[in-house]
Amino acid sequence: MAKPTGFLEFSREVGADRDLLTRVQDWQPIHLHLPDERLQTQAARCMDCGIPFCHKGRILNRMTSGCPIHNLIPEWNDLVYRGLWREAYDRLAKTNNFPEFTGLVCPAPCEAACTLGISEPAVTIKSIEFAIIEKAYEAGWVTPNLPRKRIGKKVAIIGSGPAGLACADQLNLVGHEVTVYERADRVGGLLMYGIPNMKLDKALVQRRIDLMAEAGVRFVPNTEIGKHVAAAALRQEYDAIVLCTGAAKPRDLSLPGRELQGIHFAMAFLQANTKSLLDSNHEDEQYISAAGKDVIIIGGGDTGTDCVATALRHDCATLTQFEIMDRPPDERAPNNPWPQWPQVFKQDYGQEEATAVYGHDPREFGIMSKRFIGNGQGQVQAIETVQVRWESHENGPKLVEMPGTERTWPAQLVLLAMGFVGPEGGLLAQLGVGTDERANAQASYGTFHTNVPGVFAAGDARRGQSLVVWAINEGRSAAREVDRWLMGETDLP
């Protein structure tokens, strides 16, 4: 490394975010960024650690540790420190098709696995990654990935989220004619409509899609395979099909009163909000408004956090987020050592904003909903809950209700953010693709080939709900196997 003692000399520093009370008044990106010279200092903190766990993406204790796409983090940190930004971009582009996405929305398992993180705050890998790609765009280094020649094979990719886009980018690069089908009116899948604009600026998504289109990838929006185009027809037209539809079927909450109006799945709330924002700056009013309402969000995770931040920007009256799990500890527990993902209490951007607005964290831990209460006119007006605790039993943890802790919460808008249970619709059945016990497309990691010859699956549709960076990993890996199946060999990484 160019600065072997950098981790001893410099403290961790990340770019500031916009003022909490100011940013909840708009939908603009929340992050500010450090100038080049301070980023170079941060890159100097990367140790000559010998074994860089940061780019060894793997699952430890059911959680991701390190970068799933194996970014060459120590290499581009060293190059940034020395001011060699172009060379740093070249290293970054070898492994990551979309650093502008992961540099903003990835939870950074690379930083959680940073060797420096054993005893000191980790290297600011994510901030440096985003700075590299933005400098590359500014300097004109990011250009369409044009293939050297076309080889006459046609591939259809169903779904334009991160897995579908990564797969398309790789297959197009080696000369296949790639068509990406998207049922929404805009391309980008989760990146476009699932993540709010203040977290991922849609101009960045469209910028990348435009580059891919210039490189020859064909995008077909407003087209749902199995509905607008028969799955059988697709098989006849293309040499291979890759299913990248995601795992968009939400987990429901079957409680008394579930039929009441005002109870929505979180993704319906988020998608409608972003579409209305992009279409008309919310002037068309074609979204689920939280304005003036008591809002309850059931479930945590990224989706729940995005609902918190979105409801705040609607100017809701009150906001509460229910988590059935116990509050995490402030420091790592003995059974959660480095380099596992740290299961500790922290606030994401939405909780930080809610704390600034209301004076307290919006989350209630160890709480379970019992029933929804209506107002007599078919509209939800309250939720009845009970506190719970987790007890150890021979067959695993058991949820136990705590007597005397029943409570009723006012709620005119309830958002269900409890995760997803597999792909939507009957496309898999139409294609004859087998499913696993979780209703995902059955295809082994490493081959990505389903039971139907020429039909592959990647991303959340295959592995279940996961991270954007895992979707990119799967899209790239599936592209390699599709190329191998079509050509007999492959040069794709």
Among residues 216, 205, 197, the alpha carbon closest in space to that of 151 is found at 216
- pLDDT given for residue 393 in this prediction: 83
| Alpha carbon distance 368, 120 (integer Å) | 37
What does the alpha-carbon distance between residue 489 and residue 147 come to, in Å, rounded to a whole number? Answer: 17
The DSSP line for 457-470 is E-THHHH-S--HHH
Q: How far apart are CA 50 and CA 174, in angstroms?
A: 34
Q: Which two tokens stand for residue 95?
A: 């492994």
Token pair for residue 386? 């009970």
Cβ density class 240-260: b for 16+ within 10 Å, e for less = bbbbbbbbbbbeeeeeebeeb
Token readout for 302 is 């990224």
Q: What is the pTM of this model?
A: 0.96
List per-block mean pLDDT (blocks of 10 residues) for the chain, which spans 493 residues.
87 95 98 94 92 92 95 96 97 98 97 95 96 98 95 97 98 98 97 98 98 98 95 95 96 97 98 98 98 97 97 98 96 94 96 98 98 98 97 87 97 97 89 93 96 97 96 98 98 94
Q: For residue 220, give the 3-state DSSP assignment.
A: strand
The reported pLDDT for the residue numbered 58 is: 92
How far does the chain reach from its first CA to its final CA, in angstroms? Answer: 26
Identify the pLDDT of residue 2. Answer: 67
Q: Residue 297: which H helix or E strand, with range?
A: strand 294-298
pLDDT of residue 394: 81
The two structure tokens encoding residue 474: 């799967």
pLDDT of residue 3: 86
Are the beta carbons of 461 and 420 closer than 8 angstroms? no
User: Can you point out the beta strands (E) in 91-152?
Assistant: none
Q: How far apart are CA 332 and CA 240, in angstroms?
A: 46
Domains and CATH numbers, the chain: 6-139 (1.10.1060.10), 154-248+421-487 (3.50.50.60), 263-416 (3.50.50.60)
| Secondary structure letter of residue 449 according to DSSP | B
Q: Where are the alpha helices (DSSP H) in 155-201?
A: 162-173
